[in-house]
Amino acid sequence: MAASFKFGAAGLAFALVASSLTGAGAVAQESTNRVAVETAWSVFVDGNPRECWAVSAPRETVNTRDGRAVSVRRGDILMFATYRQGQGAVAEVSFTGGYPFAEGSTVEVTIGTDTYQLFTDGEWAWAASPEEDARILDAMRRGQDAVLVARSSRGTRTQDTFNLFGLTAATEEAQRRCAE
């Protein structure tokens, strides 16, 4: 799928209106479209046709280069589960790492003992198919943490850990709002 379609208005709208997230939930300083907060996950609704998404920032981030911890500047680091009105009940799972990913690289997602790959384009990563989105979301709903490991275009290895508490309630709320 083309990156412009996969990115969608949800990610763009959130990136434009939310200035920061904390581990306890979203803190959208200028947002008028946040409709719920479920532990570490916030729910937003925007657009026409409507897009509804659950989003969270990582609770922990580790950046390394050549095996050593390094300090790097990154933009927003966010994980999304997005529903689109009229496109069924499957959420699209996406991730933005706050930096351009290495060309041709993937993001490894580990939830419990399950591992998945997201393809990258610029600063964004997605599952390869709706079926893979469904498998990842199912694992996220059963899991406690999602650990995403990626490589920047400058060779930095990043490891972002997302708390999955509240994800099920947040995705159910997002799905319900886009089914209306």
Which pLDDT score is estimated for 35? Answer: 87
Tell me what pLDDT residue 113 has: 96
Q: What is the pTM of this model?
A: 0.82
At residue 33, the pLDDT reads 84
d(C-alpha 10, C-alpha 80), whole Å = 9
Q: Which helix (H) or strand (E) holds 32?
A: none
How high is the pLDDT of residue 23?
34
Q: What is the pLDDT of residue 179?
A: 87
CATH number where 92 lies? 2.60.40.1880
pLDDT of residue 87: 82
- In which domain, by residue range, is 44 found? 3-179
pLDDT at res. 18: 39
Q: How many domains would you assign to the chain?
A: 1
- The pLDDT value recorded for residue 130 is 94
Helix, strand, or coil here: 123?
coil
- Binned average pLDDT, 10 residues per bin, the chain of 180 residues: 38 38 34 78 90 95 95 95 87 96 97 97 96 97 98 96 97 91
Query: So what's the pLDDT on residue 32?
Result: 61
